[in-house]
Structure 1
């Protein structure tokens, strides 16, 4: 039996963490789960190509599957950052705080088989054993076991009050048993549970999806989706203008003015663009040179000149979309004194899938050169950059990151991005004080205290100069005037819903 205290803790922890709400273009079709009406196929242009053949454990691929309505997990994030039912219709924590019992709803996989407790437990076990583990469960030591036919017990090594939030991460989506190969690979083609089934893959350039009529949440209004992966932002905008696609992701700010005013839709997000400095090897292993880089950067130039008003200078890691952060921010202490760069050479890497990033890198190049560095830029598509980025082959990286993308929890992203064992640690930061503060924050169960602890960890991270936050972003989505119910999601996990139609 779950104690009253644990019920209270769970309820508080899953309270809203993000201000604002999802919105949809046109009428609010995205909230209609009846699937009434009949729409044609939707053409969409996404900014990022799959990097690992649609593996749910790929850093981009899982979110592609989520945005296209292919895959889902036990829980999902609602508009306020709360974990709400998906494949699980309810859950409760057990006495020790380590285990949670999830009761499944009646649902089917896209291959026609039933969603069972055994299948779900197996899917979560595969995810937990992936190498590297999905960011949301890095260091959690998650295990899952079936309890009867319709319940799954999910356990962490330590008490974990935000485990339902972790399970919203697209990398923890559930697939049918036939999806999992003996070689460890996962095929999402026709094996997921979402309203659209992936039916055809054309390399890393396109994908075809058909409506899954047995979706537990109701029949989607669009009959299918024709997805194109177009890394060039101008090409995405052009595809929308010419009617080649109905929806274009991440329209470059330079292209917004050229769109019909009724087709450009903006939303505040928890996304930042930051300069990550490699603290493990090379020039920026020296704290004094990291401090020199920080002092050289003028973020207002990037906000005004590069983002043209669709961003504002960063105040830290947590931006204005997270209204609780502004009143809790702590100034970093112990900052190193800037050293003279003396012409030392550095390479800054970035990707052109988000076209503002190369422009931002060029501005940074000029600012850092003025400060005394010699700066080379390396620009690729993200698919061709990711492995080298994670291997630490560059001195610095200009990278765009949604601080709430992994779980909706303000602490989880700190663990993944800035601790010694973090799976997305682009700065390769390994600082005992940072790790201690993040661990302390992870243990907090009260939302306000958890936020306070996150801000203390943020201050410590910024004090190392491992990352230099540049701007907080708005995202512009191009949506054709005939489209109704396209989803504008501050978490950037959802792109089309069952009510999206053309």
Structure 2
């Protein structure tokens, strides 16, 4: 392992070790001198703490998926095509209906048997949630059971329904999870690991599911700690306090041994969302002026140390077919930004974003804008961002997180009724393009419709895509089989263990 390069790094490592002390006890399984290979616990350090008590109806669902504790009817392969999971097979049973056969021999972690009625309950609860899981934005569905099959019927034709049902936010949980006002996933999943406890926003504990339908997990369990500070996460791996570390900041990657890090091109775009409903950027000409002022290359070379790609659009190199894009087809003459004040918001959870915001501040100042920054932890800034309280917001956004298809992300972020519409955009041409993209049958025609919708969004300057990220995951050298998943759905699987 490399030695720290400077005294400040040593100081950070010491502080981080202090931070992690007590989180992963040295005598715990998985530590030096622990159980034999394949029977140790895996110590995982993750970036964002739970925001909704690990409810599967929130973004916390992706943690449940990455720990292999909650599962869905279908999963996605590398190409984004649906594959069997809790459903053994499915078929289109009507213009608006799909019928899924529920897998036999699956038990929930509380010992109850998975049935079609359980699937109906989970999907119905998700469809009635407020707010809905974003994968169901613009989708109305009803679910019925008949024997070991479940039929899902949508209000309008939805060719993407099987892919939608792969979203971790549509996980199937036992009846016990739905008692009360919130959905409680503890001991209610079907996956390789049983969620035993959640300790606020600091930690979670999972044990091996000895009766997992997909085979016996190779690890004894998972001990999770949530550490928003990226430097502390990297230091935990360097000091041997963690086995797997999520989202190592690029600034820390060079301080780790090459065999400890994996760089994966991500369907994730770092975008500056501009508020089109109020404030300075309500004026299209000033949005155009901001776009003209922003240069992404210094961000890639400086902030990301070359571990990213300059964006040509909303969709990046993780989707090879996106190279066929037509690009912007309408341009607006840039207005005069002199005397115009804007506030840019972003969050600290992703270590690069405050640096990106600072660089944008200087670039926009050079163009004549007066720029203020507001930076907090994500949990403390999301509601204000969604309410449109900033003139602009810097966000690292996964573009195919939910369905393996970017149409859902684009609808969520840019449709008038989208649940994650940071730009407060309401544009008829965008809505029409998104409607076509979401209703076109999978295949080449759908891809072309998605690219047309991307062009419609870019024409509004509601969002300025800057760069496409690559995830840097840290693994100790004795970790075997951790998932390197561009969609950020998998991390510890049935085949992951510590030697």
TM-score by length of structure 1 reads: 0.90
CA contact (8 A) 1:253 1:307 kept: yes
1:221 and 2:197 correspond: no
Match of residue 151 from structure 2: 153
| Runs of at least 5 residues in structure 2 that lack an aligned partner in the other structure | 1-35
Aligned pair in 2 of structure 1 residues 75, 336: CA closer, same or farther (>3 Å)? same
Match of residue 429 from structure 2: 433
CA contact (8 A) 2:159 2:442 kept: no
CA contact (8 A) 1:410 1:451 kept: no
**Pairing 1:437-452 to 2, within 5 Å after superposition:** 437-452=433-448
Match of residue 12 from structure 2: none
SS in 2 for 1:221: coil
Match of residue 335 from structure 1: 331
Q: Tell me how far apart the structure 1 counterparts of residues 327 and 265 of structure 2 sit (CA, whole Å).
A: 24
SS in 1 for 2:258: coil
Match of residue 187 from structure 1: 184
Q: Tell me how far apart the structure 2 counterparts of residues 264 and 274 of structure 1 sit (CA, whole Å).
A: 25
CA contact (8 A) 1:335 1:465 kept: no
| Runs of at least 5 residues in structure 1 that lack an aligned partner in the other structure | 1-35
SS in 2 for 1:433: helix
Aligned pair in 2 of structure 1 residues 229, 418: CA closer, same or farther (>3 Å)? same
Match of residue 498 from structure 1: 494
CA contact (8 A) 1:302 1:360 kept: yes
Match of residue 204 from structure 2: 207
Match of residue 30 from structure 2: none
Superposition deviation, residue 220 in structure 1 = 0.8
1:411 and 2:407 correspond: yes
Q: Tell me how far apart the structure 2 counterparts of residues 38 and 193 of structure 1 sit (CA, whole Å).
A: 21
Superposition deviation, residue 76 in structure 1 = 1.0
1:176 to 159, 174, 177: 174
Match of residue 322 from structure 1: 319
Superposition deviation, residue 104 in structure 1 = 0.7
Match of residue 167 from structure 1: 165
Match of residue 278 from structure 1: 275
2:390 to 390, 394, 402: 394
Superposition deviation, residue 446 in structure 1 = 4.4
**Pairing 1:130-149 to 2, within 5 Å after superposition:** 130-148=129-147
**Pairing 1:69-84 to 2, within 5 Å after superposition:** 69-84=68-83
Match of residue 3 from structure 1: none
**Pairing 1:471-482 to 2, within 5 Å after superposition:** 471-482=467-478
SS in 1 for 2:151: strand
Deviations 1:387-446 (A, max 9, x none): 222122211111011111111113121111110011111111111001101111122114
1:39 and 2:39 correspond: yes
SS in 1 for 2:63: helix
Deviations 1:19-58 (A, max 9, x none): xxxxxxxxxxxxxxxxx97320000111111111111122
**Pairing 1:249-328 to 2, within 5 Å after superposition:** 249-326=246-323, 328=324
